[in-house]
Amino acid sequence: MADVRCPNSVVLAGRRIELQNCVPRNKEEWSLELAMLLAEINGIKFTDTVKRVVEYVRKFWRQYEVCPPASVMEADLGIDRKTLLEAFGGNYSAICALAGVEPPTGCLSQVLSST
């Protein structure tokens, strides 16, 4: 993931969690606490907006198995793109990373990261 710092593993509550591109190798190990730790590693303040977006992305991912496009998040959460991206340090990939899901690949991810 471009511009997102992703360690190979983290220790959370005394348990080592192996990560690949910020996504836990064992998908069941994702938690809000992990999202908060990854936010801290990446200099992102874990605000109510960040928490709301991360929880939304997790729910979306469980249903569709993909990180939602920014336009869908904007419409469903009532957040404009500027506010959405600013909350995550201007990086769409950080949204997916904190939610523990892979970002879309190809054109979509390039467009989203450049807006």
Query: At CA 34, angle to CA 43 and CA 30, rounded to 5?
Result: 140
Question: Whole-model pTM?
Answer: 0.86
Q: Name the residue with higher pLDDT: 76 or 110.
A: 76
Span 94-99, mean pLDDT? 94
Q: Which two three-digit tokens encode residue 74?
A: 């904007």
pLDDT at 1 over 70: no
- Residue 26 burial (CB < 10 Å; 0-12/13-18/19+)? exposed
pLDDT at 72 over 70: yes
Report d(CA 95, CA 54) in Å as an integer: 7
Evaluate whether 39 touches 50 at the Cβ level (below 8 Å).
Answer: yes
Evaluate whether 107 touches 16 at the Cβ level (below 8 Å).
Answer: no
pLDDT at 70 over 60: yes
Output the pLDDT for position 3. 76
